[in-house]
Amino acid sequence: MRIYVYLRTMKKRLTQRPMRPFIYILSFILVSGLVFGISLKNEDPNKDKLLLEIISYVLDRGHYDPKEINDAFSENVFMNYLENIDGQHRFFIKSDINTFDSYRYRIDDELKNTQLDFFNLSYNKLMERMEQVQKFYESLLDTPFDFSRKEEISLDYENLPYANNLEGLKKQWRKQLKLNALERFTSKRDEEVSKAEKDSTYVSLSDIEIEKDVRVKIKENMKFFFEGYNELERKDWFSIYINSIVVQFDPHTFYLAPSDKDRFDASMSGKFEGIGARLQKRNQEVKIVEIISGGPVWRDEIIEVGDIILKVGQPNEEPVDITGMRLDDSIKLIKGPKGTQVILTIKRVDGTIEDIVVTRDIVELEETYARSSIIQDDTGSFGLIELPKFYINFEDYNARNAATDVKKELEQLKKKKVKGIILDLRNNGGGSLKTVVDMTGYFINEGPVVQVKSTGGKKEVLKDTDPSIIWDGPLVVLVNEFSASASEIIAAALQDYKRAIILGSKQTFGKGTVQNVFDLNRMITGGTYGNLGALKVTTDKFYRINGRSTQLEGVKSDIVFPDQYAYIDMGEKDQDNPLAWDRITPASYIPYDKMKNYEYSLVRSKERLKENPFIKLIDEQGLWVKKQKEDYTYSLDYTSYKADRETNKKYSDRFKKLEEFESTYDFQWLPEAGFEGEPNEDLIKKRERWEKSLKKDIYISEAVEILKDLSTQIKVDNTVAEVKN
């Protein structure tokens, strides 16, 4: 096909030229599609090869850090692809892997020559094995499970060997099905005991009846499971193969098949309906990776990032096990109309399992906006501004946005004569860069805020050019592991200027990159070949004004306040193939010189944390979470399984003492400065509930104490600091 010749020729010419800024590369790509003028048909068998060629071209010319396509790259693709299509070793056996192994170091050569031998071989073998499993799994479920038999199963799939043969594969399936059955059996048995305790006339089901019912339900779920797999077309598996390739560049570079692109566009519109959480499929598990501000689970605080969804049930229906299910199919079960309920079986980050009921809803935009509260005690008043995200109307910057709203909140708090302000950026995943630059300017004189380095090495320093300062008093910024991107930029800038004390987790998320989306259909003309989808590509990198990247490293808190994620990697470091940390030349800036009691406040806070009885318990909780995360072995007899489950629950219950914390401060929410009109009854109730949550927030309590230290007048006499009231 002529397009291959043109692409190879153009690529060769381009690689002989100096790298240009990404905007120019993008322009060339758009024009090149018109130059080719190719008309390709939907039924053309070379469509997959064309897609690979175009994606390789875009990555080579557009990615911030293009990779060398060599044997090491090939091996990584090989391993990642097998994990993506059979991460739990449910289908392939050892002889299959041995056959595939001849391609371990040849995928790079196939990419360069647009060959698909490895994909075709693995796809055909997967279809064959799936058909074989479908023929034997029912017979495994026809035989009662012996829950008195002592045996174990390991779910450490990364180190779990493949079965030697089909007979070995059946044994692995039997154990996996038995674990599923044991979980259901245990829950159902507890339910029967509870019913009998509440109603003396209730006739409980026998263990035999429960076990039989459990197997019937699992068989129904497995039928649903394979129906989902059988609906997949070759192109769906090929998309997985492509993403096994592009993810080697970095975790945020991703191929969006046409249906995925439609969902991506919908998510960018800001309209979400469902439970209000972003999900990710990893190691065959559906994991919560983000809680969407304004959504039902965010409002009710019933799910946390890191939790795993094991089952999804509708009211009055048997829950469906979604382990190993396609993410799209899992989402279909979870989503639903506003006002309806879904029952999720959640495995918490501490290993405990529980059912929660979520009332589906539409994400409320009002809940994503900045909001503020007055914090009072007998020493005076302090202010809190909570910012869930950096929102903006790109079509009209004069419309409501995070920067203008925070400015109004600051002015509102100043009128209340507050002595210090807390800016809460916990769980803020980022947003508009312009709002970050403007917002940072409210706390500093004019100067650089962030440096951006683009594809080709071009560097730009984004500055605050307004010399005025909205708030020049004591400032504390609250962050955690899920403060990312734009949140890290403002926290880093205020830290570098020594303008604020950063309080929170050991470090923030550590995402210091920017992505752009390429419509791959622009590469060709004639449009009869069908939709090629799009490619999300990492094109830029952020750097602090001190020259250090926020990539991987994030922003390290001045005062580390432990939490349950303290001992596990929950950020960019936990992703596959993240870009490396590096540094560039610092920008020219002058640290803020009016921050009083800075060192004194740090020392005082650290002393308080040492004496705080809750800190030791929080640290212990973090160690417990780490231990549970690293435990992959499960007992398959009822007595041991039940004992382990009760032990875990009993141990995790000790952390409920943390819920007893309640600060001595009074909180009073303020009407949103950017909100027009009077708050309705629904909003008032939500804000009152927010007040109660603030009173239970141990992190805010410590932030107020830091503000007190920052605002206290200190007279230093030699080495003795005398505090004046």
pLDDT digits (tens, 9 = 90+) for 545-587: 999 999 999 999 999 999 988 998 889 998 989 999 999 999 9
* pLDDT score at 718: 39
533 has a pLDDT exceeding 60: yes
Name the pTM for this structure: 0.81
Mean pLDDT of 526-538: 79
Considering the domain architecture, whether residues 312 and 329 belong to the same structural domain is answered as yes
pLDDT band (50, 70, 90) for residue 714: low
- Mean pLDDT of all residues in 121-125: 97
Does the pLDDT at position 642 exceed 80? Answer: yes
User: Same domain for 400 and 288?
Assistant: no
Query: How many distinct structural domains can be found in the chain?
Result: 3
Quick one: pLDDT at residue 283?
61
pLDDT of residue 433: 87
- Please report whether residue 599 resides in a domain: yes
pLDDT value, residue 322: 84
- 364 pLDDT band, cuts 50/70/90, is low
Q: Is residue 265 part of a domain?
A: no
The interaxial angle of helices 22-36 and 2-15, nearest 10 deg, is 150
Please tell me whether residues 402 and 328 are part of one structural domain: no
- The residue annotated as part of the active site, out of 511, 541, 686, 708, is 511
State which residues form the domain around 341.
Answer: 272-362
The per-residue pLDDT for 5 is: 35
Q: By the 8 A CB rule, do 396 and 449 touch?
A: no
Determine what percent of the chain is predicted with pLDDT higher than 70.
87
Q: Which of the listed residues 308, 332, 362 is the one where a domain comes to its end?
A: 362
**Residue 535 counted as domain residue:** no
The whole-number pLDDT of residue 423 equals 98
Q: Is residue 151 part of a domain?
A: yes
| Confidence tier at 24 by pLDDT (50, 70, 90) | very low
**Domain of residue 682, CATH code:** 3.90.226.10
Determine the average pLDDT of the residues in 262-274.
49
| Residues 277, 149 share a domain | no
410 within some domain: yes
Average pLDDT score over residue span 665-673: 89
- Give the residue-averaged pLDDT of 25-54: 51
Residue 643 shares a structural domain with residue 688:
yes
Q: Is the pLDDT higher at 608 or at 44?
A: 608
> Has residue 129 been placed in a domain?
yes
**Burial group, residue 407, by CB count within 10 angstroms (0-12, 13-18, 19+):** buried
Q: What is the pLDDT of residue 267?
A: 44
Establish if 487 belongs to a structural domain: yes
Instruction: Compute and round to an integer the Cα radius of gyration of the chain.
Output: 28
Residues 472 and 591 placed together within one structural domain of the fold: yes
679 lies in some domain: yes
DSSP 469: -
Write the single-letter amino acid at 395. E
Give the domain-ending residue among 320, 339, 362: 362
Structure tokens at 619: 């640290």
Q: If DSSP states are collapsed to H, E and C, what string results for 368-431?
A: HCCEEEEEEECCEEEEEEECCCECCCCCCCCCCCHHHHHHHHHHHHHHCCCCCEEEECCCCCCE
- Is 436 found in the same domain as 574? yes
Do 556 and 678 share a structural domain?
yes
Mean pLDDT of the chain: 85
565/306 Cα distance (integer angstroms)? 9
Give residue 293's pLDDT band: very low, low, confident or very high (50, 70, 90).
Answer: low
Mean pLDDT of 91-119: 96
Which are the contacts of 425, defined by CB distance < 8 A and separation ≥ 6? 387, 477, 478, 479, 483, 487, 490, 491
The pLDDT score that the predictor gives to residue 489 is 97
- Provide the pLDDT for residue 129: 97
Binned at pLDDT 50, 70 and 90, residue 676 comes out as: low
Backbone angles phi, psi at 697, to 5 degrees: -90, 105
Q: What is the mean pLDDT of residues 218-228?
A: 87
Give catalytic status of residue 511 as yes or no: yes
- Catalytic residue, from 56, 239, 485, 711: name it: 485
Active site residue 610: no
Least confidently predicted of 612-621, 632-641, 672-681: 672-681
Last residue of a domain, one of 178, 211, 246: 246
Read off the pLDDT band of 393 (50, 70, 90): confident
Instruction: Check residues 372 and 721 and name the one with the higher pLDDT.
Output: 372
Check residue 209 and give its pLDDT: 96
Residues 381, 335 within the same domain? no
| Choice among 329, 350, 496, 709 that is catalytic | 496
Residue 685 confidence (pLDDT) above 50: yes
Averaged pLDDT, 428-453? 94
Shared domain check, 290 and 159: no
485 is catalytic: yes
Q: Same domain, yes or no, for 303 and 386?
A: no
- Considering the domain architecture, whether residues 552 and 675 belong to the same structural domain is answered as yes
